[in-house]
Chain A
Amino acid sequence: MTVVFSKTPGLTENETHYCPGCTHGTIHRLVAEVLVELDLLEDTIGCGSVGCSVLSYNYLNVDMVESAHGRAPAVATGVKRVHPDKPVFTYQGDGDLASIGTAEIVHAAHRGEKITTIFVNNAIYGMTGGQMAPTTLIGQKVTTAPDGRDIAHSGMPLRMSEMLAQVPGSAYIERVSVHNPKAVRRAKRAIKKAFTYQMERKGFTMVEVLSTCPTGWGLSPIDSLKWLEENMIPYYPLKVFRSPEEDYPQ
């Protein structure tokens, strides 16, 4: 018998609490597999955030520290300055990173902090029950914009990857998705690159992963994957925004 699929040792045995069809679980697995494949699992220190992934420390088989809402990049900075040779990452939602935590993420990038940020963008606040995030799409109905997000009132959805790519300290910024197997493979490659560049001390690295929230969006798991593809990707294009392999004006 050949083993076609087995759970990575990068994940613990705990069953996750995510809703059926939520892609947070997939993203956890990618991070875990990458850390195993790069042989970094034993050294890695993760910084959790506040959002549905608040319990990520129960699922990822690495040492982790909790962070207050939005502050993970600052916490990671503290960790990295104590352990400059160890891989350090943050795992943050879009409310956490793009709303309350914008100052921390911008300045971690600005300092060229040698960390990797896994930024899970599901265009909503999942944990608190479906309120508007800065990334919520125009017209998307959420509990704090019941008639849909309106540009005049709330502005355009914030594109964090594009924004952070402008910050000189950023070394690698890519946006990926997990809505089908091909996208998942590409997402994994991106996460692997980010950790590799971190270990090569190239600077700040971030992978933005477009993710589903069937509960918050009020859609079935299958419809959610479709909604992501049809609505999020056109506004949030999947691409490399910054890479140390390219010459980027300093």
Chain B
Amino acid sequence: MAKMLMKGNEALALAAIRGGCTHYFGYPITPQNEITEYLAREMPKAGRVFLQAESEIAAINMVVGASAAGGRVMTSSSSPGIALMQEGISGLAAAELPCVIVNVQRGGPGIGGIQPSQADYYQMTRGGGNGDYSILALAPATVQESAEMIRDAFQLADKYRSPVFIASDGMLGQMMEPVEFGDTQPTLMAEKPWAVVGHGGKRKPNTVKTLALDPLVLEEMNLARQKKYAQMIATEIRYENFQVDTAEIVLCAYGSTSRIVKNAIDLLGQEKIAAGLIRPQTLWPFPDAPFQNLSKKCRRVLCVEMSCGQMIDDVRLAVNGRLPVDFFGRTGGIIPAPEEIVGQVKLLLGRK
């Protein structure tokens, strides 16, 4: 396929179809409506199912049903909608049901605003729902990466029988950029012997469930899930290092913000200040290693987010006291300007 100029949201939607998504359930909310509208138009043409749910609560529970029944399922929403889905997401993690959940983040809390934000980091990585569970969260920074990560998300969901988040935001969703889709066919869906499809008289009935009244049984189930999470931590962490080796200050940012930080690093370079970037591509599991292997040149770490400071908790845990870790952020839907970040870096390094 030739290069196309697409909105991040549309690229996510097209990549979902190409990734073999069979069922999409969603409810309108800005700034992710292009996903819903694209799939309303294109899923039927591809012989797949699009259904507008009456609410995000309904949407995520439709995902539960379709995933349990063996479908390759996706939903998308934005921050307040993801908040409503939390009960279902906890249930999906507990029942070990594969699915992809896209969060095109906007300013909160509450109804908040509709401009870009990264204030759902806790919601996605700390579990907004109840219980001991974790969810893989992939964070694209370009439209191209949005498309690639959706493809990977479906595969990871099947591989681990787990929901997978795509952590996008209003800027990445709304902006257009060139994107190329390889000619690869969608990966085949994993065998799902656990799915509820009717036993046909050939096997014992399958049940998809989360209820476990016997504490010993529930503990065992939780420990089994922890093993799965440990495997994700061992094999699925992704990040990008940008000019980290020579940096005297290393910045950490993901998604849209990482793009602004790259501009800031260029500006700093023009002033002979060596700065680098660690860009987590998985928010959970978080990439600890690059922070543990920082060169001697690095004097401090600055975490930049479109929030009041959430990912900084993980950065501090990874740095583990070896270096000072500071924070700079804008919130409420404001995208930080490169110059603001440059100013903060200079202040921290004591340069004028």
Binary interface encoding of chain A residues 88-99 relative to chain B, with 1 for a CB under 8 A from any of its CBs, else 0: 000000010001
Interchain CA distance A102-B57 in the complex, whole Å: 12
Contacts known (A131-B36, A144-B36, A144-B52); A69 close to B30, Cβ less than 8 A: no
Q: Which residue of B lies closest to A145 (CB)?
A: B40
- Establish whether residues A128 and B80, one from each chain, have CB atoms under 8 Å apart when the complex forms: no
**Number of interface residues, chain B, beta carbon within 8 A:** 18
Instruction: Identify which of residues 17-54 in chain B touch chain A, using a CB-to-CB cut-off of 8 Å.
Output: 27-30, 33, 36-37, 40-41, 51-52, 54
Interchain CA distance A95-B53 in the complex, whole Å: 11
Chain A residues with CB below 8 A from B110, complex form: 68
Chain A residues with CB below 8 A from B41, complex form: 146
Does B55 count as interface, using CB distance less than 8 angstroms? yes
Contacts known (A131-B28, A131-B37); A154 close to B52, Cβ less than 8 A: yes
Interchain CA distance A229-B36 in the complex, whole Å: 30
- Establish whether residues A99 and B111, one from each chain, have CB atoms under 8 Å apart when the complex forms: no
Does A19 count as interface, using CB distance less than 8 angstroms? no
Contacts known (A54-B111, A100-B27, A131-B28); A143 close to B37, Cβ less than 8 A: yes
Interface class of chain B by DSSP: mixed
Contacts known (A68-B80, A125-B28, A145-B40); A99 close to B33, Cβ less than 8 A: no
- Establish whether residues A50 and B36, one from each chain, have CB atoms under 8 Å apart when the complex forms: no
Does A162 count as interface, using CB distance less than 8 angstroms? no
Does A87 count as interface, using CB distance less than 8 angstroms? no
Does A70 count as interface, using CB distance less than 8 angstroms? yes
Chain B residues with CB below 8 A from A66, complex form: 111
Does A129 count as interface, using CB distance less than 8 angstroms? yes
Interchain CA distance A50-B29 in the complex, whole Å: 11
Contacts known (A99-B54, A134-B54, A154-B52); A144 close to B111, Cβ less than 8 A: no
B-contacting residues of A (Cβ < 8 Å)? 50, 54, 66, 68-70, 95, 99-100, 102, 125, 127-129, 131-132, 134, 143-146, 153-154
